[in-house]
Chains A and B, each alone.
Chain A
Amino acid sequence: MECAIQMKHVTKTFGSVTANKDVSMDIYKGEILALLGENGSGKTTLLNMIAGIYYPDEGEVLVNGKQVEIRSPKDAYDLRIGMIHQHFKLVDVFTATENIALGLDSKEKFDLKQIRKKAEKICEKYHFEMDFDRKVYAMSVSQKQTLEIIKALYRGADILILDEPTAVLTPQETERLFKVIRNMKADGKSVVIITHKLHEVLAISDRVSILRKGEYVGSVKTSEADENLLTEMMVGKKVELNIERPVPENPVKRLEVRNLSVVSEEGVSVLSDISFDVYGGEILGIAGVSGNGQKELLEAIAGLQPVVEGGSIKYYNAADGSEPPMEVVGKNPKIIRSAGIHMSFVPEDRLGMGLVGSMGMTGNMMLKSYDRGRGFLTDRKKPQDLAESIMKELGVVTPGVNTPVSRLSGGNVQKVLVGREISESPIVLMTAYAVRGLDINTSYTIYDLLNRQKKKGVAVIYVGEDLDVLLELCDRILVLCGGRVNGILDGRSTTKEEVGLLMTKLQPDKVREKAQGEAKEEAQGETKEAQREEKETKKETREQEGGGKVE
Chain B
Amino acid sequence: MSNLIAWIIRAIPFGTIIMYGAMGEILTEKSGNLNLGVPGIMYLGGFAGFASAFYYENNAASPNGAICILLSLVCCVAASMLGGLIYSFLTISLRANQNVTGLALTTFGMGIANFFGVFILNGKSYTAAPLANSAYARKIPFLSGLGAVGQTVFGYGFLVYAAIVLAVVLHIFLNSTRVGLNLRAVGENPATADAAGISVTKYKYLATCIGAGISGIGGMYYVLDYNSGIWATTGQIEALGWLAVALVIFTTWRPLNAIWGAYLFGVLYWLYQFLPSLMGFTVASYVTDLIQMVPYVVTIAVLIVSSLHKKKENQPPAHLGLAYFREER
Given A54-B329, A73-B196, A89-B195, A102-B188 contact (CB < 8 Å): no
Q: Is A53 an interface residue (CB 8 A)?
A: yes
Chain B residues with CB under 8 Å of A77's CB are 197
Residues B192 and A106 in contact, CB atoms below 8 Å apart: no
Q: Is B178 an interface residue (CB 8 A)?
A: yes
Residues A89 and B191 in contact, CB atoms below 8 Å apart: yes
Residues A94 and B188 in contact, CB atoms below 8 Å apart: yes
Residues B197 and A74 in contact, CB atoms below 8 Å apart: yes
Chain B residues with CB under 8 Å of A101's CB are 178, 181
Residues A89 and B192 in contact, CB atoms below 8 Å apart: yes
Selected from A102, A110, A135, A137, the residue in CB contact (under 8 A) with B196 is A102
Chain B residues with CB under 8 Å of A92's CB are 188-189, 312, 318
State in angstroms the CA–CA spacing of A159 and B276 once bound together.
72
Q: Is B177 an interface residue (CB 8 A)?
A: yes
Residues A53 and B329 in contact, CB atoms below 8 Å apart: yes
Q: Main secondary structure on chain B at its contact with chain A?
A: helix
State in angstroms the CA–CA spacing of A106 and B196 once bound together.
12
Q: Is B198 an interface residue (CB 8 A)?
A: yes
Q: Is A376 an interface residue (CB 8 A)?
A: no
Q: Give the interface centre of A89, A91, A92, A135 by most chain B CB atoms within 10 Å.
A: A91
Selected from A89, A103, A110, the residue in CB contact (under 8 A) with B177 is A110
CB distance from A40 to the nearest CB of B (A): 16
Q: Which residue of B lies closest to A155 (CB)?
A: B196
Q: Which residue of B lies closest to A73 (CB)?
A: B195
Q: Which residue of B lies closest to A138 (CB)?
A: B312
Q: Which residue of A lies closest to B326 (CB)?
A: A53
Residues B318 and A102 in contact, CB atoms below 8 Å apart: no
Residues B188 and A93 in contact, CB atoms below 8 Å apart: yes
Chain A residues with CB under 8 Å of B193's CB are 91, 102-103
Given A90-B192, A103-B197, A106-B178, A135-B185 contact (CB < 8 Å): no
Q: What 0/1 pattern do residues 66 to 96 of A give for CB contact below 8 A with B?
A: 0000001110010000000000011111100
Chain A residues with CB under 8 Å of B189's CB are 89-92
Query: Which residues, 250 to 295 on B, are CB-close (under 8 Å) to A?
Result: none
Selected from B185, B198, B328, the residue in CB contact (under 8 A) with A94 is B185
Residues B192 and A91 in contact, CB atoms below 8 Å apart: yes
Selected from B177, B185, B312, B313, the residue in CB contact (under 8 A) with A102 is B185
Q: Is A98 an interface residue (CB 8 A)?
A: yes
Q: Is B182 an interface residue (CB 8 A)?
A: yes
Selected from A53, A91, A137, the residue in CB contact (under 8 A) with B185 is A91
Residues B182 and A102 in contact, CB atoms below 8 Å apart: yes
Selected from A98, A103, A135, A137, the residue in CB contact (under 8 A) with B198 is A103
Selected from B182, B188, B315, the residue in CB contact (under 8 A) with A103 is B182
CB distance from A54 to the nearest CB of B (A): 7
Q: Give the interface centre of A14, A89, A137 by most chain B CB atoms within 10 Å.
A: A89
Selected from A74, A90, A135, the residue in CB contact (under 8 A) with B312 is A135
Q: Which residue of A lies closest to B186 (CB)?
A: A91
Residues A93 and B318 in contact, CB atoms below 8 Å apart: yes
Residues A91 and B188 in contact, CB atoms below 8 Å apart: yes
CB distance from B182 to the nearest CB of A (A): 7
Selected from B195, B196, B198, B312, the residue in CB contact (under 8 A) with A93 is B312
Residues A98 and B195 in contact, CB atoms below 8 Å apart: no
CB distance from A340 to the nearest CB of B (A): 39
Q: Which residue of B lies closest to A112 (CB)?
A: B176
Query: Which residues, 181 to 196 on A, are CB-close (under 8 Å) to B?
Result: none
Residues B329 and A102 in contact, CB atoms below 8 Å apart: no
Chain B residues with CB under 8 Å of A98's CB are 181
Chain A residues with CB under 8 Å of B196's CB are 73-74, 89, 102-103
Chain A residues with CB under 8 Å of B328's CB are 14
Instruction: Name A residues whose Cβ lies closer than 8 Å to a Cβ of B.
Output: 14, 53-54, 72-74, 77, 89-94, 98, 101-104, 106, 110, 135, 137
29 A-B contacts (beta carbon < 8 Å): A14-B328, A53-B329, A54-B329, A72-B197, A73-B196, A73-B197, A74-B197, A77-B197, A89-B191, A89-B195, A91-B184, A91-B185, A91-B189, A91-B192, A92-B189, A92-B318, A93-B184, A93-B188, A93-B313, A93-B315, A93-B318, A94-B184, A102-B193, A102-B198, A103-B182, A104-B178, A106-B178, A110-B177, A110-B181
Instruction: Name B residues whose Cβ lies closer than 8 Å to a Cβ of A.
Output: 177-178, 181-182, 184-185, 188-189, 191-193, 195-198, 312-313, 315, 318, 328-329
Q: Which 9 A-B pairs have the closest CB atoms?
A: A103-B196, A74-B197, A110-B178, A89-B192, A103-B197, A73-B195, A91-B188, A91-B189, A102-B196
